């Protein structure tokens, strides 16, 4: 009896070890991949200084992470910054710091805007009446993997990451079209590739396989069923919203005049500091992302 019990216990332990071993494989593969890139990819070097005096740049999500790094670069390049923020206290603190660090640059303008509210987006577009040369859609929310609705009734990731940027672009488009050389930058994510089957083989993001799109229920409220065990909402509504951003940028490119250029990009892989927030804690990744965005602006 004791022998049978010990064998059962040993079998259980073996299964647990095997389970944990399988769970660590993706992390091991990721670590090897990051290490290989660190060894083989050449350093970016320093960003070349560009004088953007006279250019007005709007950046969402500028109080932390990638957006903050981008705001710092644009301030150093003498751009006229307009920073719509959710938290005015953080926005004012950033405004003061940027002014102190770049006394010769135009003072940044900080205004309140919450992408979780379409009314707030419209209010910002009404209150800010100045020119727009560059619009950077940086702010985003990862989501918790649960269905959370905004006050407008939309799923949170879909609204914050896609619907509100869509609205903001539409409202500011007349002013962008008045610019000599305007840029719209959609900071998307590699997570949009979680839906690869909706594109036909041999195509680069198109043409669309609409039947597969509907079958997989992309952009619908059943996204928790599509989440991956290790990646959480990266395979759910977050991936949906980032795919929508990429497709919007492509559709927009076909409709814009020659003086307005739109880009979508995957800036870098960063580690969120809060599952529900928009913050990142990797300065290297933030600088890399700022570098890529800067190339889109020039």
Q: What is the pLDDT of residue 280?
A: 38
Q: How confident is the model at residue 276 (pLDDT cuts 50, 70, 90)?
A: very low
Range 208-235 average pLDDT? 50
**For residues 147 and 221, is the Cβ–Cβ distance under 8 A?**
yes
SS3 251: helix
Q: Residues 106-115: pLDDT tens digits?
A: 999 999 999 9
Cα–Cα distance, 215 to 210 (Å, whole number): 9
**For residues 88 and 117, is the Cβ–Cβ distance under 8 A?**
no
Which of the residues are catalytic? Answer: 238
- Report the side by side order of strands in the sheet with 182-187: 109-112, 80-85, 56-59, 134-137, 182-187, 260-265
| Average pLDDT taken over every residue of the chain | 75
Judge whether 51 lies within some domain: no
SS3 77: coil
CB count within 10 Å of CB 226 equals 18
Please check whether residues 203 and 110 belong to one and the same domain: yes
DSSP tag of 198: G
Is the pLDDT score of 201 beyond 70? no
pTM, to two decimals: 0.71
Q: Residues 152-198: pLDDT tens digits?
A: 988 888 899 999 999 999 999 999 999 999 999 998 776 555 554 44
> What is the number of structural domains in the chain?
2
Is the pLDDT score of 7 beyond 50? yes
Please check whether residues 20 and 135 belong to one and the same domain: no
Q: The domain containing residue 17 runs over which residues?
A: 1-41
Please check whether residues 81 and 223 belong to one and the same domain: yes
Range 208-213 average pLDDT? 49
Cα–Cα distance, 226 to 194 (Å, whole number): 10
Please check whether residues 26 and 109 belong to one and the same domain: no
Is the pLDDT score of 219 beyond 60? no
């Amino acid at each position: 009896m004791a022998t049978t019990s010990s064998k059962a216990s040993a079998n259980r332990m073996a299964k647990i070890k095997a389970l944990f071993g399988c769970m660590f494989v993706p992390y091991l593969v990721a670590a090897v991949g990051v290490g290989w890139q660190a060894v083989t990819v050449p350093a970016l070097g320093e960003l070349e200084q560009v004088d953007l005096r006279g250019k007005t740049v709007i950046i969402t999500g500028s109080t932390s992470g990638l957006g903050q790094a981008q705001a710092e670069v644009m301030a150093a390049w003498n751009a006229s910054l307009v920073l719509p923020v959710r938290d005015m206290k953080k926005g004012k603190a950033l405004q003061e710091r940027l002014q102190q660090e770049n006394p010769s640059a135009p003072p940044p303008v900080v205004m309140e805007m919450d992408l979780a509210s379409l009314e707030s987006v419209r209010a910002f577009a009404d209150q800010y009446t100045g020119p727009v040369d560059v619009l950077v859609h940086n702010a985003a929310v990862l989501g918790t993997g649960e269905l959370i609705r905004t006050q407008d009734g939309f799923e949170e990731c879909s609204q914050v990451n896609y619907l509100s940027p869509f609205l903001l672009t539409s409202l500011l488009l007349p002013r962008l079209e008045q610019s000599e050389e305007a840029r719209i930058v959609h900071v998307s994510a590699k997570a949009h590739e979680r839906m690869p089957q909706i594109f036909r083989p041999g195509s680069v993001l198109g043409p669309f396989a609409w039947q597969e799109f509907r079958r997989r229920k992309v952009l619908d409220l059943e996204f928790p069923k599509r989440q991956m065990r290790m990646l959480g909402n990266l395979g759910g509504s977050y991936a949906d919203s980032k795919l929508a951003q990429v497709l919007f940028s492509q559709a927009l490119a076909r409709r814009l005049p020659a003086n307005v250029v739109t880009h979508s990009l995957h800036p870098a892989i960063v580690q969120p500091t809060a599952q529900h927030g928009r913050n990142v804690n990797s300065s290297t990744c933030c600088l890399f992302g700022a570098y890529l965005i800067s190339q889109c602006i020039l």
